[in-house]
């Protein structure tokens, strides 16, 4: 391939990603679907900017999956694997075994022979680690119960790639045995491969535990970060080549290497150096998947392919949903778990190629399977959207009704709190510590179910409704604390409270500066920007770490809070957020407050100003005089 062709292909791939991914994310499709669509657009079926000769790009892009699994391995400690053994080996093992068994049974009823049926079942039982983890991470769902269960299943699938390759090798030997008389040579060859596999795994484990430390220390002593990056890439590539040489998945080998290095003091440096490469190569991988779809074969057998695709998703959906029930996931979490794993995985491309090279599959069967795998990955982000926008709202409402069996009792508390997430929990504990009884209402049934385990008494309800607010005791309460995370819900509740319960004093959480200005326009006197005070407090800690006395820190923080509130009130009356003068005045204010705080540091201290720290204040004053 000539240099100008390489540059042109690089430009096409990067341009496709830059154009399509932001559009896909903006309309809520996610980056993975954006990459896949970009590949389809530039592929032979559409613009034809890349063609079949770019199949090598797919192999290069698969290195993104290899790096991703290495980084996943770095996050795992063997002790953590043991703690998660019930989910990994229990849930994950059942998912692979049951799904593969059903697919094998159905495949054997059609045109596939026994070896092909087993191969198909094992390949299609796997799901896409890259798509699921990246999508869940983007949506902030990895730490949910569904996210943890899904991660455990994916981890088991990655581990299972080793025995799957071994099984495919045995099946390939059986296929060869039917045409080759001397089976002894094949058997000996199988034992030889097994010994090579054990040797390769042993080298990774021993090298990672006893050699890698000295190598990275030697490289780190040079102080050259680019050399550390080169060493990390060299190690990953070396492990991948070694695994490929013995017939194993390169991704699995690097995953094992990551697990071995999980306790290394250099793990964070490895993550920081490899993370950018992983993101770019994964994007290239998904673009290549989209570009590699053979739409001519698809059009010739569209009914068969769509039927197989629907059948695959239905089988995996049923198996996953039943297993989620067995492992006690709530309906909404179970649906998220099920929808996220109901596709085939990127390892399917590698396994199908391996099966084809070893004469398990013919060209037609492998081509059909590749399209089914690619299409199942392609529609996964769409399944997420269907679940989030059309199914989950109804399920959550149904679960909420079940939670609402305990009707709200007017306890005569002086404070009603709307919302009890991470912000409201801190506030609720503070009020409770000061002997203030609070009636807490939240709209998130999962949040309620979780917090009740810790002894919190929380009621479910849509408190933006006047009847619900009344049932919570709004007629007798004195203060309504609004700490919900949704800005629209906050504004709606304010309007309801002002209209129906004007005697309530409103204490409101402002989402950001603009929201704070809007609350001020509504004459809400008690509101706080959710991150303002914590940011000032953290800044105070930074000043103390620099050696500034407690008195000076306290004075600076108090002055900053006062001036900021006064300044914002002044700007609110004069300008809107989008007014150019607002930005200009804000910049002037930053300079103004800096001058005030610097001048204040030279101002004589008043001993009564902060009596709790007079000793450090007097000591500092004497040092300044000297």
**CA–CA dist 342, 313 (Å, integer):** 5
pLDDT at 186: 43
pLDDT tens-digit series, residues 101-127: 999 999 988 778 889 999 999 999 999
Gap between the terminal Cα atoms of the chain: 75
**The Cα angle at residue 276 between residues 272 and 282, in degrees rounded to 5:** 130
**Greater confidence, 617 or 64?**
64
pLDDT over threshold 50, residue 357: yes
Mean pLDDT, residues 399-422: 68
pLDDT over threshold 80, residue 50: no
pLDDT over threshold 50, residue 99: yes
Mean pLDDT, residues 460-474: 81
pLDDT over threshold 60, residue 204: yes
**CA–CA dist 383, 308 (Å, integer):** 17
Q: Which two tokens mark 178?
A: 């039917």
pLDDT at 372: 93
**Greater confidence, 433 or 80?**
433
pLDDT at 398: 60
pLDDT over threshold 50, residue 95: yes
Task: Write the DSSP symbol of residue 444.
Answer: -
Other Cβ atoms closer than 10 A to 386 = 13
**Greater confidence, 46 or 93?**
93
- CA quadruple 274, 277, 281, 283: dihedral positive or negative? positive
**CA–CA dist 461, 342 (Å, integer):** 33
pLDDT at 45: 80
**CA–CA dist 520, 532 (Å, integer):** 16
**CA–CA dist 68, 258 (Å, integer):** 10
pLDDT tens-digit series, residues 316-356: 999 999 999 999 888 888 898 999 999 998 778 778 877 88
- Local structure of 434: helix, strand or coil: coil
CA distances, 498 to each of 283, 470, 524 (Å): 50, 13, 10
**CA–CA dist 243, 202 (Å, integer):** 12
**Greater confidence, 69 or 471?**
471
Element holding 516 (H helix, E strand): helix 513-521
17 beta partners: none
Name the burial class of residue 148, with classes exposed (0-12), middle (13-18) and buried (19+) by CB atoms within 10 angstroms of its CB. middle
pLDDT at 181: 43
pLDDT at 342: 93
482 beta partners: 418, 508
**The Cα angle at residue 183 between residues 181 and 186, in degrees rounded to 5:** 130
Among the listed ranges 174-188, 299-313, 376-390, 513-527, which one has the minimum average pLDDT value?
Answer: 174-188
| DSSP class per residue in 199-236 | HHHHHHHHIIIIIHHHHHHHHHTTT-HHHHHHHHHHHH
Q: Which two tokens mark 232?
A: 């990390």
**The Cα angle at residue 134 between residues 130 and 135, in degrees rounded to 5:** 115
Where are the chain's structural domains?
Answer: 61-392, 415-625
pLDDT at 443: 75
- Local structure of 128: helix, strand or coil: coil
Q: Which residues contact 495 (CB under 8 A, 6 or more apart)?
A: none
CA distances, 158 to each of 198, 498, 512 (Å): 18, 56, 42
Task: Write the DSSP symbol of residue 388.
Answer: I
Among the listed ranges 196-200, 358-362, 405-409, 425-429, which one has the minimum average pLDDT value?
Answer: 405-409
CA distances, 195 to each of 188, 191, 246, 513, 625 (Å): 11, 6, 9, 64, 79
pTM score, whole prediction: 0.61
Mean pLDDT, residues 60-79: 70
**Greater confidence, 586 or 540?**
540
pLDDT tens-digit series, residues 6-36: 678 778 888 888 888 888 777 766 677 788 7
CA distances, 594 to each of 163, 564, 588, 599, 600 (Å): 65, 12, 10, 9, 10
What length is written for the chain? 626
- CA quadruple 548, 551, 552, 556: dihedral positive or negative? positive
**Greater confidence, 326 or 445?**
326
pLDDT at 326: 93
**The Cα angle at residue 358 between residues 355 and 364, in degrees rounded to 5:** 55
Percent of the chain exceeding pLDDT 70 equals 77
**The Cα angle at residue 435 between residues 429 and 441, in degrees rounded to 5:** 50
Name the burial class of residue 402, with classes exposed (0-12), middle (13-18) and buried (19+) by CB atoms within 10 angstroms of its CB. exposed
pLDDT at 401: 53
**CA–CA dist 308, 289 (Å, integer):** 19
pLDDT at 321: 95
**CA–CA dist 351, 165 (Å, integer):** 8
CA distances, 366 to each of 194, 230, 334, 385 (Å): 26, 37, 32, 30
**Contact assessment for residue 607 and residue 614, using Cβ atoms and an 8 Å cutoff:** yes
CATH 3.30.360.10 fits 61-392, yes or no: no
pLDDT at 323: 95
107-116: long-range contacts at Cβ-Cβ below 8 A with a sequence spacing of 24 or more? 112/365, 115/171, 115/174, 115/175, 115/360, 116/360, 116/361, 116/365
pLDDT over threshold 70, residue 192: no
**Nearest Cα to Cα of residue 70 among 375, 298, 209, 277:** 277
**CA–CA dist 555, 332 (Å, integer):** 49
**Contact assessment for residue 131 and residue 380, using Cβ atoms and an 8 Å cutoff:** yes
- When pLDDT is cut at 50, 70 and 90, the band that residue 80 belongs to is low
**CA–CA dist 258, 157 (Å, integer):** 16
Residue 180 backbone phi and psi in degrees, to 5: -115, 130
pLDDT at 618: 62
**Contact assessment for residue 416 and residue 472, using Cβ atoms and an 8 Å cutoff:** yes
Q: Which CATH class is domain 415-625?
A: alpha beta
**CA–CA dist 373, 24 (Å, integer):** 21
Look at the block and give the residue holding tokens 């200005």.
Answer: 517
pLDDT at 562: 78
Other Cβ atoms closer than 10 A to 380 = 26
Q: What is the mean pLDDT of the chain?
A: 78
pLDDT tens-digit series, residues 474-520: 888 999 999 887 788 888 899 899 989 999 999 998 887 778 878 88
Element holding 479 (H helix, E strand): strand 479-482
**Nearest Cα to Cα of residue 197 among 257, 254, 242:** 242
pLDDT over threshold 80, residue 369: yes
pLDDT at 309: 95
pLDDT over threshold 60, residue 612: no
527 beta partners: 508
**CA–CA dist 140, 351 (Å, integer):** 31
Look at the block and give the residue holding tokens 């290069």.
Answer: 60
- When pLDDT is cut at 50, 70 and 90, the band that residue 146 belongs to is confident
pLDDT over threshold 90, residue 586: no
pLDDT over threshold 90, residue 133: no
pLDDT at 153: 93
């Amino acid at each position: 391939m000539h240099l100008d062709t390489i540059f042109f292909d690089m430009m096409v791939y990067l341009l496709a990603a830059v154009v399509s991914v932001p559009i896909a994310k903006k309309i809520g499709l996610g980056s993975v679907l954006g990459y896949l669509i970009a590949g389809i657009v530039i592929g032979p079926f559409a613009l034809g900017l890349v063609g079949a000769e770019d199949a090598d790009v797919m192999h290069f892009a698969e290195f993104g999956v290899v790096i991703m699994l290495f980084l996943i391995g770095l996050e795992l400690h063997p002790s953590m694997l043991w703690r998660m053994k019930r989910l990994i080996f229990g849930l994950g093992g059942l998912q692979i075994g049951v799904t593969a068994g059903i697919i094998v049974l159905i495949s054997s009823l059609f045109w596939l022979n026994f070896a092909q049926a087993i191969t198909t079942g094992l390949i299609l039982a796997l799901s896409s680690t890259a798509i699921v983890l990246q999508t869940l991470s983007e949506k902030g769902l990895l730490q949910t119960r569904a996210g943890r269960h899904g991660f455990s299943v994916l981890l088991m699938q990655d581990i299972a790639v080793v025995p799957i390759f071994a099984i495919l090798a045995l099946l390939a030997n059986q296929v060869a045995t039917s045409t080759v008389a001397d089976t002894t040579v094949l058997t000996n060859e199988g034992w030889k491969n097994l010994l090579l596999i054990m040797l390769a795994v042993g080298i990774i484990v021993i090298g990672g535990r006893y050699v890698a430390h000295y190598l990275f220390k030697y490289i780190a002593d040079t102080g050259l970060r680019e050399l550390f990056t080169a060493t990390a890439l060299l190690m990953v590539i070396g492990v991948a080549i070694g695994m490929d040489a013995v017939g194993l998945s390169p991704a699995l080998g690097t995953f094992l290497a990551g697990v071995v290095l999980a306790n290394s003091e250099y793990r964070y440096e490895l993550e920081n150096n490899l993370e950018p490469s992983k993101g770019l190569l994964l994007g290239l991988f998904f673009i290549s998947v989209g570009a590699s779809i053979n739409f001519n074969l698809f059009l010739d057998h569209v009914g068969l392919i769509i039927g197989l695709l629907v059948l695959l998703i239905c089988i995996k959906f049923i198996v996953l949903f039943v297993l989620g029930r067995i492992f006690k996931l709530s309906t909404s979490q179970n649906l998220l778990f099920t929808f996220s794993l109901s596709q085939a995985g990127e390892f399917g491309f590698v396994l199908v190629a391996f099966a084809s090279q070893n004469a398990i599959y013919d060209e037609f069967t492998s081509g059909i399977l590749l399209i089914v795998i690619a299409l199942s990955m392609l529609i996964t982000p769409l399944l997420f959207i269907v679940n989030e926008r059309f199914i989950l709202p109804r399920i959550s409402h149904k679960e909420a009704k079940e939670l609402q069996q305990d009707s709200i009792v007017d306890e005569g508390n002086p404070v009603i709190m709307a919302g009890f997430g991470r912000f409201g929990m801190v506030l609720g504990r503070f009020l409770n510590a000061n002997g203030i009884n609070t009636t807490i209402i939240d709209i998130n049934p999962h949040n309620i179910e979780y917090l009740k385990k810790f002894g919190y008494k929380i009621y479910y309800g849509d408190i933006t409704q006047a009847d619900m607010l009344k049932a919570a005791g709004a007629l007798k309460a004195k203060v309504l604390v609004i700490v919900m995370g949704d800005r629209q819900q906050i504004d709606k509740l304010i309007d309801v409270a002002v209209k129906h319960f004007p005697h309530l004093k409103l204490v409101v959480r402002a989402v950001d500066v603009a929201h704070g200005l809007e609350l001020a326009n509504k004459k809400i006197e008690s509101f706080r920007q959710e991150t303002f005070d914590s940011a000032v407090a953290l800044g105070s800690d930074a000043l103390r770490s620099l050696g500034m006395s407690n008195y000076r820190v306290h004075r600076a923080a108090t002055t900053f809070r006062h001036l900021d509130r006064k300044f914002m009130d002044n700007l609110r009356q004069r300008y809107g957020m989008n007014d150019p003068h607002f930005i200009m005045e804000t910049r002037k204010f930053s300079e103004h407050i800096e001058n005030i705080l610097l001048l204040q540091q030279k101002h004589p201290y008043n001993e009564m100003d902060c009596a709790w720290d007079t000793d450090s204040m007097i000591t500092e004053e004497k040092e300044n005089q000297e």
